[in-house]
Structures are given as structure tokens and as C-alpha cells.
Amino acid sequence: MNQRREFLRNTLSLAVGAAAVSSLPGCVFESDQEPQSPVAVEPGKPLPWINWAGNQHCYPSHRVSPANEDELVAAVKQAKGVIRPVGSGHSFSPVVPTDDTLLSTDLLSGVVAHDPEKLQAEVLSGTRIHNLGPMLHALGQAMPNLLDMDYPSLGGAIANACHGTGSNFGCMSDYVVGLKLVTPAGELLECSAEKNSEIFHAAKTSVGALGVIASMVIQNQAPFELTEVNRIERTEDVLDDLDNRFARHRHFEFLPLPHTELCITMTTDLAKPGDVDQGEDDPMAVNQIKDAFDATSWVPFFGSRIYEGLINGQLQDSLGEVVRSGPSYRVLPHVRIVRFREMEYTVPVEVGPKCLREILALVKSKNLPMPFPIEYRHVKADDIWLSMYQGQAGAAISIHQFGDRDYKALFAEIEPIFWKYHGRPHWGKLHTLNAKGLAPLYPKHWQDFQEVRRSLDPSGKMLNEHIRNIFVA
């Protein structure tokens, strides 16, 4: 058994024992669990659609799955009521739900054309990112950067300005040099910086409010190999050296462990000869950390100290480095099989450390039920109208809660800190801002986007309740 699993087993055993010793008679830990799936299939009702996180659902009366461009145009033209496109269903916010027409892009998958000289490829919008890597590799291409997990569809990642990390790398939308958009009226538009340019700039991050993207032309590079090294470090040491870390490495991110002084760092650089995998990345490890937290945090007066002591005392001694090396499309993403809910805001990069420190201090002072690691990444500035990085480099800070726990109270405690630092919420993740609160965050292009949206969709065919709330209400 590798060091990581051995550590987690020992930690949990110690935690349970400590809780038993320290507990008082009559004290009972009460979980705030909620069901993994919010709805059940009911005879006589339309089949429900449920997102990956299990926190969004709907009962679409019509489902369509076009397999090519012509079928997509026909499906949008004939759609009844509000139409919403869906890829893999990895958005946490209610961008998808509609009880009218749900349009799945599952069958719109693959590379339809490529340019070996420009290193560009036209990719259908429903293509899953985990399938795209090998496809591009076979063509002598690779995306310069990827998300930290590769389950979403490319169209969904573009619509929400999803991103990886690295001070010299933009979000996924930044690599789009052309696209084909099926408007709500069923018109197929070819868009680029030279053709239908305003629609192009709006559609590169549109949250699916302008129609349905059929395909995108992506600017790639030649295939390359990376080596990622994961270590346990002290959070304050990393924050004090943060600019250097991001400047020194092709990709860098770190994950502070709430209620402790420690974090996990991930440095990723071009592979060197002889780089090989070392250790094993355990995607279930976070469940063991949760169990240790549950077994100690409820203990009166001493619970948080017990947990922090276990993590601080055991983690650094028992967990060695984990190294992953190989093709970029295998190293950049990570396995995500533990269900969670997520809120992410991007704040100006210069205030990122201050914002993070305030969040960590709040979690500790209020003993908030949050053992799930926080994620901290940098993304390069762009001029995509509704990208979270429009006009400014951003520090993306992600807050998670386990899928069997109520996230609402936790996120409500933390979200005002993001507002204080003028944070922009990730379109595909949970937040409570509406159009009135969002407009001031995008002073340069908010009205430009609204004009394009109204011109393409005057009747609100793409507006479910949430899309209406963030763009109209």
C-alpha cells in the first residue's frame, strides 16, 4: 500500500480514537447530509435531467440530440419553448435546466478539419475534452493548456470561460479563433475576428445565451510532455513566495487545507529526460480527510485542535511526493470522482493572497464545516467580453463542499469576501449575483454583450430562469 493510503488510514484511526477519548456523554454528531440525487424517476412524468453534482435538475418535455450541423439547425428552429443546450452536465449553476426543450450535444463530437501549418483544428462542440487530447495528438497538435479535469464538453468549457492555471495561459475561450453559431432563429453564422466580429467576441463566453455553438476552431501547438510534482508545504510559505512560484513554473497551483497550516502544491513544467511517475495520486483521499474532520470537529472545545494536530503532525511525515509525467493531455487533468459542489470567484491577481487569507481566517474562527481543500490558480488577462479575466489577470479561488452536505450556509458565509475584493463569479459555478450585481464587474463590454444578445434572441428563446436572472433581471 502506498504512503498516501497508509497515511489516510492512520489519520482516520487516530481521529476516531481521539474523538472517542475526548467526547462528552450525550454528545452526538449530526450530519447535514442531503441526498446525492435531488429527484427520482416518476411514472407519467418526463424523465428528469440531473447534473453531475446532483444539485440541478429539470423535466424537459422535449429532448433532441442532433448528430450533425444540419440536424442542429433544424432542432433549434423547431424547438418548443425555452431551449437550453447541455454537454456533460458539469456546471454547478442552473445554466441548463428547462422544462421545455433540452438539446444534448453528445453526438456532435470529433475533429472535422485541421490545418497542420497553422496548428489549428475545427472541433465539434460536444467533444469531451478527455477524448480531444488523443484526437489532436494523432494530428500532431495539442492544446496549450487544459482544465484540471477533462470530463466537460469543449462547448461547455468555452461557454463558461473554464480554465486551468498558469500566469501565461488564458482560459479555454482564449484559444478560439473561429466558431459556427446556430442562432435562436436557426441561422448558421460563421464568426471570427474578421467575420461577424461582434458576435464572435460575445459568443466566446456566452453561457449559452446567444444560441448553440456547432463547432470551434482552436489554436493549438505541437504535442509536448509535462511533469507535475505534488508536495505538502506550509500555506504561508507558499503565499510569501507566490509571485516567484507562478513566474518560475509553466503551471502552478496550490490547495490550502482549511483548519490547518498546510497546503498541497502542484508544479508542472516541460518534462525532462528521465522523468517518471512516482507515488500514486489517490482521487478518494479527500473522503478520508472528510472522515477525519467529521470524527474530530464536533468534539467540544478541542475538536478543531485535534484535527489540526493530526493533519499537521502526520501529513508532512507520512506523505511523500507524487510525480506524474507524460503527454500534456494526460498530465494536466486530474481524476475527479468524489462528488462535490463548487463556488469560484476570480479576483484581481494582486489581491488574491489577501482574499485567500481572509477566507482561511473566517473558516477557522467560525469553525466552518469545510475540510475540502481550497483551489488557487492564476489565469492570464484577455479581452473576451464576459470572460472573468477580461482586462485583468485573475486569481481564481474555488470553494468546495462535499456532495452529501448542504453547501448553502457555507457558501453564504464566504461569498461576501469575494464581493469585497471585486470578484467575478465563474459562470458555471454557484453564486448569488444577478444582472444588477454582475454588470458593474464588466464595465467595458456588458452593454455590448446585451446588445448582441437582444439582437440574436429578441423573444428570449434561450433564457431559462437563471440566464434571465443574470442577464436581464
Element at 221 (helix H, strand E): none
Write down the pLDDT at residue 17.
Answer: 52
pTM: 0.92
382: CB partners within 8 A, 6+ apart? 170, 171, 173, 174, 389, 390
Q: Is the pLDDT reported for residue 3 higher than 60?
A: no
Write down the pLDDT at residue 320.
Answer: 60
> For residues 3 and 88, which has the higher predicted lDDT (pLDDT)?
88
Yes or no: is domain 111-223 CATH 3.30.465.10?
yes
CATH fold of 49-104 reads 3.30.43
Q: Is the pLDDT reported for residue 25 higher than 50?
A: no
Using alpha carbons, select from 277, 234, 275 the residue that is nearest to residue 257.
234
Task: For the chain, give every domain's residue range.
Answer: 49-104, 111-223
**Roughly how many angstroms between the first and final C-alpha of the chain, as a whole number?**
55
Taking the C-alpha atoms of residue 102 and residue 62, their distance in angstroms, rounded to an integer, is 6
Q: Is the pLDDT reported for residue 381 higher than 70?
A: yes
Q: What is the 3-state secondary structure (H, E, C) of 371-409?
A: CCCCEEEEECCECCCCCCCECCCEEEEEEEEECCECCHH
Write down the pLDDT at residue 111.
Answer: 98
Write down the pLDDT at residue 14.
Answer: 52
pLDDT in tens, 162-196: 999 999 999 999 999 999 999 999 999 999 999 99
Average pLDDT for the chain: 91
Write down the pLDDT at residue 10.
Answer: 57
Q: Is the pLDDT reported for residue 12 higher than 80?
A: no
Strands (DSSP E) contained in 107-201 are: 111-115, 120-124, 176-182, 188-192
Write down the pLDDT at residue 301.
Answer: 67
What mean pLDDT do residues 386-407 have? 96
